[in-house]
Structure 1
Amino acid sequence: MTESQNGTTMEEGKLVITRTLNAPRELVFKVWTEAEHLKQWWGPKGMNIEVKKFDLRPGGMFHYNMRTPDGHEMWGKFVYQEIVAPEKIVFTNSFSDPEGNTVRPEFSPVFPIEIMNVVTFTEQDGQTTLTLSGGPHNASAEEQEFFKSMFESMKQGFGGTFDQLEEYLAKV
């Protein structure tokens, strides 16, 4: 894997994104772990996020609705596996229905049902390096290949999401 200060790579079928943020680790961790902050920056640019449920603990869930300006809705969820404040968050991410049941996304019958994500936070000189590593969890070979084929799209999507995070951190 090659890493840059703000980079995106693939490693063993995982998307790895690194971003250095001009904010202390405790603040960056806080905006990842409190619903009122998370809804301000999570998701694709231009989407309005509504939090249906937020329970930050192993086995707990962040269940949310993303709405485009023209009213199209998509539901998603994180199911938390591990939280080590302020160092690490491990969660599965998936699309869901309004009740929180895991579903396949509308855009593909072979997108993996669950993506396992590990987010780490390290601080140096008042800046935080955030690293997100995510890949298919319990996925078929076809789902894993499709995930790899989405690399460029996901890179752009997470780039926009992390741009929003950076802008939000400058305001809080």
Structure 2
Amino acid sequence: MNISPEQNVSGELKGDREIVISRIFDAPRQLVWKAWTDPNHISSWWGPRGFDAPPCEVDLRPGGTFLINLNGPDGNIYPCKGTFREVVEPERIVYDGPPNEPAGCGAGIPPDATVTVIFADIGKQTKLTIHTLLASEDHRIAARNEGFIEGWQQSLNRLAEEIEKGAIKQND
């Protein structure tokens, strides 16, 4: 079954401090996990349309960090960084955004936020859910106003396109 880029992607605000984004991928969970965690693949899909990410750094373990420098269409570089709190292959990743930055900072990872990414098996497909708990309602408002939901939806659609065209292989 082919899923169009706009199909099966959602984003919603929950409570005062939460944003939940999800998408169904027409691929097995292990493949989606690989696309999400392998630096060689992350750089091919991370970021909204018009952005690109050169090779990134990923130390996928509790206490490990990641850094993805998004090149924006405006010529600016938007760093996306965080620290892994929990890694349970191929089910869940929990990471924290950079601490002590003002609301409105962060390229995909809001400051002082905890992000839980869940990879759920649904037959031959995978439901990926990004649950972001922000430090305050002001942080959530800033993230929403900066296009956090739309940016993630575009990123997940780009990931689906990479999977669909076969750019990410189970055994590479």
Aligning the two structures, in what range does the TM-score lie when normalised by the shorter sequence? Answer: 0.7 to 0.9
Q: Is the 8 A contact 1:119 1:130 kept in 2?
A: yes
How many residues align? The count is 155
1:103 shift after superposition: 7.0
Counterparts of residues 12-161 of structure 1 (less than 5 Å):
12=15, 13-94=17-98, 104=101, 113-136=111-134, 139=135, 143-148=136-141, 150-151=143-144, 153-161=147-155
User: What residue is the counterpart of 2:159 in the other structure?
Assistant: 165
Alignment RMSD (CA, Å): 2.5
AA of the residue aligned to 1:84: V
**TM-score, scaled relative to structure 2:** 0.79
1:10 aligns with 2:8: no
What percent of counterpart residues are identical? Answer: 31
More strand by share: 1
Question: Mean Cα displacement is larger for which, 50-59 or 74-83?
Answer: 50-59
Partner Cα separation in structure 2 for residue 123 and residue 91 of structure 1: 21
What secondary structure does 2:49 align onto?
A: coil
Could you list the structure 1 runs, at least 4 aligned residues long, displaced by more than 6 angstroms after superposition. Answer: none
Partner Cα separation in structure 2 for residue 120 and residue 84 of structure 1: 10
**TM-score, scaled relative to structure 1:** 0.79
Q: Is the 8 A contact 2:100 2:112 kept in 1?
A: no
Any unmatched runs of 5+ in structure 2? 1-7
Q: Kindly tell me: are residues 16 and 119 of structure 1, through their superposed partners in 2, closer, same or farther at Cα, counting changes over 3 Å? A: same
Q: Kindly tell me: are residues 120 and 105 of structure 1, through their superposed partners in 2, closer, same or farther at Cα, counting changes over 3 Å? A: same
Any unmatched runs of 5+ in structure 1? 95-101
